[in-house]
Chains A and B, each alone.
Chain A
């Protein structure tokens, strides 16, 4: 659980998480935007199905993998959130064909 500092300034960005409308600040990475919106887990591991959430926030751990605008396995912490972006959390092995 994270919350935004009351005086944190920045431009608002509208995007969607699993189809639901969400808002972020323009400097947020996708992973930060998920956290800011109270998303608790962003994927389930392909090995055991265990839930995972961002761990390192700097491109190292690969626990923040999400699908962004239909492209899967993106490191959410390395992609800036953009207006209209469609972010989907990932459960289990990613479908390689839709």
Chain B
């Protein structure tokens, strides 16, 4: 095959999205994936497509990504199971409702109107099954949820149909400069070369960055999820809580997904996670409190995906601080799924135009220089 213009390391949603957006612009892309597409966080996350409650730095990106989500079929020829019934962050006390109001005011001051505070009556209308003590909520009505593996796989297939090449089951073992190219060696003994490298290696991205001389303080985490047997449809929006950790949603097939970021243990060298039932118990208690109808529901499975978290809980996006022709997109800190469509576009912008119209300054990798030295 002719040599690629860009090598993307990592076949998660961000790698596949970068491959897709680059392919749409006629760039030849090779994606190297150590396991299979969507094997880790991209394939097994909660599937929340959420603008609600994001870090202020992420808000312009999340709003732009939402526009792509609402036209996701046009982008990848598959609806990705995306449904938009809003996301709701419940306030259990007046004090929590005040926090919601402050947040809505803060965003409004910045010019964003997608988050609004609703009273108890409107909360009840949106989420009839919510426990009676809840007093209101912060709501983002265009938010929703999609099916993670199907989404990641759809991005991959569309990219592939446009000429991107995916090699699965190969680990990048060495990266080195070779004239104008990057030479990338993989565990199957192959050597690949391209002038541009994109690091979308998720929970393993720090190892790639370290090889490029810019170590980052990345933590591999394992957010846990559990799912119930099918129950009759009783809730449309995705529900979170203001004062505790929760993500709660019902799929169209009736199963209910419960998560929110309580952590198991990640063993990234073994591709393995262990669940922590003390944490799962806490999660179950929260659901017990907020959704009395769920008390007799049956949990059929629990799991955790391996994911990268940065110390400031926002991702690394943008060019390398040390090397020409290298771009990063990793460290999404357990909330990267919704950003997938836009960050791939941003990376393609940076590679093909040298710039992007979205503010990515807060995500530059250089912000960790001092930390890394201190570490």
Chain A contact residues, CB within 8 Å of chain B? 46-47, 71-73, 93-97
Contact = CB atoms under 8 A, between A and B. Distances in A.
Contacts, number: 25
Interface in B212-255: 229-232, 234, 253-254
Interface residues of B, number: 13
Contacts of A46: 230, 254
18 contacts: A46-B230, A46-B254, A47-B253, A71-B296, A73-B229, A93-B232, A93-B254, A94-B229, A94-B231, A94-B232, A96-B231, A96-B232, A96-B293, A96-B294, A96-B296, A96-B297, A97-B292, A97-B293
Contacts of B298: 73
A47 B255 CA distance: 11
A49 to B, nearest CB: 12
Contacts of A93: 230-232, 254
A59 B296 CA distance: 20
**DSSP majority for the B interface?**
loop
Contacts of B293: 96-97
Which one of A46, A71, A97 has the highest number of Cβ atoms from chain B below 10 Å of its Cβ?
A: A97
Nearest to B254: A93
Contacts of B296: 71-72, 96
Judged by DSSP, the binding face of A is: loop
Nearest to A95: B232
A88 to B, nearest CB: 14
A46 B296 CA distance: 17
Contacts of A47: 253
Contacts of B254: 46, 93
Nearest to B229: A73
A81 B231 CA distance: 26
A95 B232 CA distance: 6
Nearest to B228: A96
Nearest to B291: A96
A48 B231 CA distance: 14
Nearest to B255: A46
A73 B297 CA distance: 9
Interface in B282-305: 292-294, 296-298
7 closest A-B pairs by beta carbon, nearest first, are: A97-B293, A46-B230, A96-B231, A93-B232, A93-B230, A73-B298, A96-B293
Nearest to B256: A96
A96 B255 CA distance: 12
B225 to A, nearest CB: 19
A47 B230 CA distance: 9
A73 B230 CA distance: 10
B140 to A, nearest CB: 27
Contacts of A94: 229, 231-232
Nearest to B294: A96
Given A73-B298, A96-B293, A96-B296, 14 more contacts: A46-B230, A47-B253, A72-B296, A73-B229, A93-B230, A93-B231, A94-B231, A94-B232, A95-B231, A95-B232, A96-B231, A96-B234, A96-B294, A97-B292
Nearest to B297: A96
Nearest to A65: B229
A71 B298 CA distance: 11
A94 B298 CA distance: 11
A94 B8 CA distance: 46
B236 to A, nearest CB: 16
- The interface centre, meaning the residue of A71, A94, A96 with most chain B CB atoms within 10 A of its CB, is A96
Interface string B320-357: 00000000000000000000000000000000000000
Contacts of B230: 46, 93
